[in-house]
Amino acid sequence: MRNRRKTAGDRAFNIVVMGISIALLLVIAYPLWFIIIASFSDPVEVNLGKVWILPSRVTLLGYQRVFENAQLWLGYRNTIFYTVAGTFFSLLFTLPAAYALSRKDLVGRNVIMQYFVFTMFFSGGLIPTYLTVNRFHLSNTVWVLLIPFSVSVYNIIIARTFFASSIPQELLEAARLDGCGNARFFAAVALPLSKAIIAVIGLYCAVSHWNQFFQSLIYVRNENLVPLQIVLRNILLQNKFWEDSITDALNEVQLIGDVMKYAVIIIATAPVMCIYPFIQKYFAKGVMIGAVKG
């Protein structure tokens, strides 16, 4: 069957859609591009508004100053540790809970699930949570960023939906006939068949831990334990202090702080930007898995 020839209206519609798409792409992509070119440009040129499309008077001063900052490298190390260890604990707690809630023979599973969902809409609040964390002596330790906030109800719902729809009941019955218990079935059968959902939940948790800021700001005071996002915040606040000063010496320091600010943003986001194109399909798959059933 021959394709219908496009009319003038079809061509006009395609042109309008293409124009809107290009405009949205520019609106979304240009701020990121500006940060990249500003990090390689002379801070005076940036402040004068001469940096638009390409770097102006290329300099690596910002990156040089950032690489000399020992606190930044410490924050980088801490963030990598929190991301790896936090993702491990999140999977350790989320997957067994989701699998148990997906089992039809679990007594009271609907009631338990309702309790989980209730916490998505109502929480104890910041002050009770802070008092609870302090009572368990977790405040100002590495554990406060790994244990108390390691479970997300949203992730449990996604994993539960996957287990319920992808692990056949007949497979469990066959395993029981061979003498396989619940724990062994979960570890030896369910998990190997769930690589997709493990990747999805793992990526969600890894990105969350990499961008972790609020919990660190509230519960961590030791400078040796702060993650990269807190270090970035301190640099931005320090830069704001320089902007409020009026002396020539501090104004010169403020210019250096500007170019450092852009360099730090690139360094902090570069790993995620480099990895995201390879893991985008897993994020899309996670959304589809969560949309299959309630």
Q: What is the pLDDT of residues 86-99, one digit of tens each?
A: 999 999 999 999 99
Q: What is the pLDDT of residues 162-215, one digit of tens each?
A: 888 888 888 888 888 878 888 888 888 888 888 888 888 888 888 888 888 888
Its pTM stands at 0.77
For the chain, which residues make up each domain, given as ranges?
Answer: 63-294
Length of the chain: 294
Are 104 and 187 in contact, with CB atoms under 8 Å apart?
no
Please state, rounded to an integer, the average pLDDT across all residues of the chain: 80
Give CATH for domain 63-294: 1.10.3720.10
Q: Residue 293 has what pLDDT? A: 47
Are 190 and 171 in contact, with CB atoms under 8 Å apart?
no
- Cα–Cα dist 223/75, whole Å: 9
> Residue 190 — φ and ψ, nearest 5°?
-65, -45
Sign of CA dihedral 158, 108, 122, 210: negative
Q: What is the pLDDT of residues 214-240, one digit of tens each?
A: 888 889 988 888 898 888 777 767 655
